[in-house]
Structure 1
Amino acid sequence: MLELVRFFLPLGYYLPVPEDLRITNYFHDLQVGVFSKSRYIQATIVFQQLPAENSGGLTTRTAAQSHAAHRAGILPDHKLASNFDTEKEAVETVVDIVTEKLPLRTHSPREDPREWHPLSDPIMTGLHAANIVIRDVVHCTERYFPTLSYESLPFLLFTYSAHVAPLDHIATDARWEMPSPDEWNSDAIIYLSHSNLDFQLRDRPLEDRVTEHLSGARDNIAHPFRLYRERAVMGRHHLRAGKYSECSIVLSTSMEAMLVALIMHIQWEIHWPAVDTSSAIVDARKLYDTLENRSTVREVLSKSLGGNWTTSASAWERWNKEGVELRNRVVHGGHIPSYREAKSAIDAHSAMVAFLADRIAQKTKLYPRTALKAVGEANLRKRERWTKHIADFSRDIAPSENDWDSSFIRWMEHVTHRNG
């Protein structure tokens, strides 16, 4: 006998799939080298369109699961009306997922479910099956619908179980047939190791930090150093949300923005204060046009800042391996990264940023404006590089100069916009 696992997953949005459409997938373990009949697993999903819950709060996704189980005939009468008119009212799609209790893969030794193989756990297998359909719908409709991750699951998940006799593999590809509603039993309430509640606890210290920032001098929103930071924050958000592909892509964009901005800021400082001259703009444009080549970026920055850029242990090589290569596999090869791959890219990004800050901190005499803008006083002090020279420069010279942010932003506009 095969034991089946069933659960109902509210998507949180409307997926335009016909009600009660049933789709079955068969997953093979590609690492065994052959498509053995005894080495595959079946997952069947059905879609329901339910009234969208507008109350919010803790019970919304729980109620959606119960309502879907009632519609499937597993639970007794539910308090929500079953004759809801889905043609006229707002709806939320719930995916009814059934797969096998015994996974195709052995369980991962890691405790974090985000690092498990999709075929090592029935819940993860069900998510994998649902994502295949969601991506098909995106291609069919040319509209974007979010795929699912472990982090997108309700923190309370109700599961049901049933036992079925395996089918004859020679007669059909199916391993089992869907049990009738009365054969399903309530199995478990799973408390997942994450919290994606709709509300946030109030953070008074964080509010104080924001108040202090908004009350004081703020960075220009268009400055490239600010844009790189915003994209890095977005990458970390995607990791927490389980959007690993988006994480890898936006991290790569962040690092590209950082590296180009740093090179151009150094060039801007080299020409200071005559940054608006024709010769300065022409020289910068020639350099800017070469920065799509990673080897050129490394060559320019290694000459300007020094440090280790070539060994396998260097932050540069680590970023290229764990950040750039991952991004290329995602963008060009359709690779879906794991949590561990995305987390490694985050760590490599942070290590590269720290390395750049370390190198700039060693060059405060050559590039004091870049050091103050890209690293800042607090981080220079942290690195014990708040020297008498940079302190005197910050106190006596910097306040008398034209606004660096406005100058650099205007200069970058001239460099990147040829008709400007």
Structure 2
Amino acid sequence: MTTPPGSAGLPIVGDKSLEFYKDAIGFVDRNIAHNKSRIFLSRLLSKPTVFVSSNKGVKELLEDKAMNCDLGYKAFMYEIYGDNILFTDGINSVVLREILHNLFSAESVASYQESIQRLTSRALEDLHSRSPVNVYKFFKRLTTEICLSVFLDIDFQTAQELSSQICELTTTHWHGIISVPVSIKMPMMSSFTYGKALEAKAQLLKIIQDKLKDTTTSGFPQKIQNARFPHANLAHNHLLLFTSALVPKALASLLTSFVIAVKKDDFDKANCGSTFLDCLLLEVQRLYPPFVAGRRLVRKDCVVDGYKLHKGQAAMYMTRQAQRDPQAFTKPEEFLPQRWINAEKDERKKLFCFGAGPRCCIGQNFIWNILRTITQSLLRKYTWNIPEGQDLSFKWLPVSRPSHDVLANFVERS
């Protein structure tokens, strides 16, 4: 047991939040090299923060030491989303997770499949005629439509005005996450971005409440309304979370990385069955997780990968670096889907794209279903190529996405 290398510096002047936000991956890589350790101490959001970038360390933090920590998102996302599973700890989180598990059970997820497949088939129908396609934009629209269809029982074709309104509101709402948390509205002046986000939140909640009152609404809205939440506003707030831009952005990030990473040699192998397709998806999740980091607040001293974390500190676990840890994976920087073909079941526990341990993503089976449906349908209908000369770099926060438009040409299979 030892103290992590590095320094938390002085309050305010020693804070590295801006540096981290500008380039999270570069910041961590530089500190790993400087400290000669994948675990190091710095200061983030005015709090001494231990960065955990080793695969073993992240696994221990999320699994073995999960009860020593609380989730660390409330400080900068709570007002945007309100009470929900992301901001709940202790016995209350256990109650909420049990309720939500029922909404995302294997049986429930299967009941959403018809909508997912129908919307996917419709979106892919004429993709070749639109080449070159802005890949991220296309997938974000498709996954937004899927989420609104499943979670709010909305048909984009028959409810175009409402769909457009919700999409505009979710965009405004999302911008609040990346803005300064100040809500100011003055006469004759437009409100700040954060204030607009809170206004969008109120309008989205009104739409959600109206949908739940609609007796013709079925599917997921009906299920969540009948779920035994301690308070009605918890059903509304979770629908706000599920229908926000968060899920489509994460899905679009993974699907864009899939199109970039999968090469011509993989097309036919993946099209022959689900086994190799799953290997491709696992490798995309390993190399290109949409959420490159997560945060915990240490409420009880604990040891993670040999380093002591103290009560009152924060811990940032770096998903992307942990999944490229040479101690966990051979040739960690290379896209090698074949590594998963004969991999032991425990190998998947080295992936943290959906978190891990008792606070892992409840909807990961639903997310996996969407990813598999879209990629399988895409491979059956098309091959594709990425024209050379494009900037394929990514921005990292709050959800990783291309820094510039990524264009692809889709060719219909004969």
Q: TM-score range by the shorter chain?
A: under 0.3
Q: Which structure shows the higher helix fraction?
A: 2
Q: Normalising by structure 1, report the TM-score.
A: 0.27
Q: Which has the larger radius of gyration?
A: 1
